């Protein structure tokens, strides 16, 4: 994932309203305070999080929400790749090679109950290539004893870098849905949270039109933790238990120019 580099800086995070799929609630997101994440009794469950830098910006909040719910979390996202579809482009081939290598290592060492993969902006390829890659992912996770959850990416700005690959970016969600049905995995359509218009306020994109800031990441963490709780049988912690943690001061957000 390409990003616009901005001078790193730490700022206090303003009071934000966390938009949930059916409920709205307010939570103060403090970037520079002590870690207020409250860990629940351990459930024994583990979640491995995969994806590109969009997923990477969501990871701090997601990790805090799962930890507060008693679930172990490992962030295995990539700042420049994270894709499982190799396609024909040298960049995507290199990214996919690294993703598969790291996945094998993480499955063996971390032993996750759920591998959650957010479709990346680099999953370029034909529908057949996408389908084969997502089916392989489902089979690989299932063989390890875990369950795969594929999450659609949020809407993001298709700038000049992405426009040539727009057809593949648009076909990936439906192809992933099909692969999930074929491979006993689960597909989650995140448009119920973000909508489909990257420029709309509901999408909660940062200044670059691609990533999320703290508020959007917190909303996503609440949404996905709820879905995972249903699947793994744990009760998600209320946002008040983790939203004021130090995760809001992660350097990813300052690089994105988040206030």
Instruction: Name which residue leads in pLDDT, 14 or 94.
Output: 94
Round to whole Å and give the CA distance between 173 and 188.
9
Q: Are 124 and 171 in contact (CB under 8 A)?
A: no
What's the confidence (pLDDT) of residue 203?
96
Position 184 scores a pLDDT of: 86
Summarised one tens digit per residue, pLDDT across range 23-78 is 333 333 433 333 344 556 699 999 999 999 999 999 999 999 999 999 999 999 99
pLDDT of the residue at 12: 31
Confidence at residue 30, expressed as pLDDT on a 0 to 100 scale = 34
Least confident of 29-38, 88-97, 162-171: 29-38
**pLDDT recorded at residue 183:** 84
Cβ pair 119, 151 in contact under 8 A: yes
DSSP string, 80-122: S---S---SSHHHHHHHHHHHHHHHHHHHHT--SEEEEEPPTT
Tokens of 132: 């084969």
Q: How far apart are CA 126 and CA 123, in angstroms?
A: 9
Q: 28-37, 123-132, 166-175: lowest mean pLDDT where? A: 28-37
Average pLDDT over residues 110-139: 98
- Return all residues near 122 (Cβ < 8 A) that are at least 6 apart: 1, 52, 81, 82, 83, 85, 91, 92, 95
More confident of the two residues 39 and 221: 221
Percent over 70 (pLDDT), the chain: 84
pLDDT in tens, 132-160: 999 999 999 999 999 999 999 999 999 99
Q: Which of 62, 101, 54 is nearest to 80 (CA)?
A: 54
Q: What is the pLDDT of residues 46-57, one digit of tens each?
A: 999 999 999 999
CATH of domain 16-255: 3.40.50.1110
Confidence band, pLDDT 50/70/90 cuts, at residue 80: confident
What's the whole-model pTM score? 0.85
**pLDDT confidence of residue 259:** 76
- Report the phi/psi class of residue 235: left, alpha or beta, with left for phi > 0 and alpha for psi in -120 to 50: beta
pLDDT above 90 covers a percentage of the chain that reads: 82
């Amino acid at each position: 994932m390409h990003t616009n580099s901005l001078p790193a800086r730490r700022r206090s995070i303003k009071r934000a309203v966390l938009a949930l799929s059916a409920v709205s609630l307010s939570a103060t997101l403090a970037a520079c305070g002590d870690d207020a994440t409250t860990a629940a009794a351990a459930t024994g469950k583990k979640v491995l999080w995969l994806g590109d830098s969009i997923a990477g910006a969501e990871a701090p909040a997601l990790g805090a929400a799962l930890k507060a719910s008693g679930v172990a979390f490992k962030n295995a996202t990539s700042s420049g790749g994270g894709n499982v579809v190799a396609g024909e482009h040298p960049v995507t081939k290199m990214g996919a090679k690294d993703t598969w290598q790291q996945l094998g290592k993480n499955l063996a060492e971390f032993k996750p109950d759920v591998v959650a993969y957010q479709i990346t902006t680099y999953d370029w390829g034909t529908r057949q290539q996408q389908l084969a890659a997502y089916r392989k992912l489902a089979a690989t996770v299932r063989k390890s004893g875990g369950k795969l959850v594929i999450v659609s990416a949020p809407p993001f700005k298709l700038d000049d870098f992405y426009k040539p690959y727009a057809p593949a970016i648009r076909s990936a969600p439906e192809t992933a849905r099909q692969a999930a049905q074929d491979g006993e995995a689960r597909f989650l359509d995140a448009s119920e949270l973000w909508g489909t218009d990257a420029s709309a306020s509901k999408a909660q994109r940062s200044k670059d039109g691609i990533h999320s800031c703290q508020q959007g990441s917190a909303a996503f963490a609440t949404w996905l933790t709820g879905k995972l709780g249903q699947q793994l049988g744990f009760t998600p912690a209320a946002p008040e238990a983790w939203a004021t943690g130090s995760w809001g001061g992660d350097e990813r957000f300052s690089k994105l120019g988040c206030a």
